[in-house]
């Protein structure tokens, strides 16, 4: 048994959108109270509202937030001319021992797809 003076429980974060009265916007909200949106345009339900970064609660990573912001900002500035943008190859790292990384689609996604794929370990 181990004893500790303090425990940091990393139990996740939720988007800080609860004080925006976003439920009055008329947009469809997901179970976390975040408007549903298209990740290729970042547009919420075809409206003039665009989501970006951790507020969208999709993939809370810095490079994803940067891409979200570029897409959302571009489309908001050119609204109503909204274009789908290419997303970069998914990349995520878990800083555990050993470290775990995924590049491209996850094993969970691939195992249900009719395609060949490779899993590497170093």
Binding site for ligand FAD (CB under 6 A): 16, 53-55, 60-63, 65
Q: Are the CB atoms for 47 and 27 separated by under 8 Å?
A: yes
Q: Taking the alpha carbons of 113, 115, 116, 118 in that order, is the dihedral positive or negative?
A: negative
Q: Is 38 or 54 the residue whose CB approaches ligand FAD more closely?
A: 54
Minimum gap (Å) between residue 113 Cβ and ligand FAD: 26
- Collapsed DSSP state (helix, strand, coil) of residue 99: coil
Cα 61 from Cα 70, distance rounded (Å): 14
Q: Is 80 or 95 the residue whose CB approaches ligand FAD more closely?
A: 95
Q: Are the CB atoms for 65 and 56 separated by under 8 Å?
A: no
Minimum gap (Å) between residue 8 Cβ and ligand FAD: 10
Q: Are the CB atoms for 41 and 74 separated by under 8 Å?
A: no
Q: Is 27 or 55 the residue whose CB approaches ligand FAD more closely?
A: 55
Minimum gap (Å) between residue 19 Cβ and ligand FAD: 8
Q: Is 2 or 13 the residue whose CB approaches ligand FAD more closely?
A: 13
């Amino acid at each position: 048994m181990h004893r500790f003076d303090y425990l940091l429980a990393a139990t996740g974060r939720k988007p800080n959108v609860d004080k925006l009265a976003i439920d009055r916007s008329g947009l469809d909200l997901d179970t976390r109270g975040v408007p549903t949106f298209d990740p290729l345009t970042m547009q919420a339900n075809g409206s003039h509202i665009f989501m970006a970064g951790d507020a969208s609660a999709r993939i809370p990573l810095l490079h994803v937030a940067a891409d979200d912001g570029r897409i959302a900002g571009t489309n908001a500035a050119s609204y109503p001319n909204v274009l789908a943008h290419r997303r970069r190859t998914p990349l995520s790292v878990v800083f555990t021992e050993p470290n775990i990384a995924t590049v491209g689609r996850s094993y969970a996604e691939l195992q249900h797809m009719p395609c060949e794929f490779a899993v590497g370990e170093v």
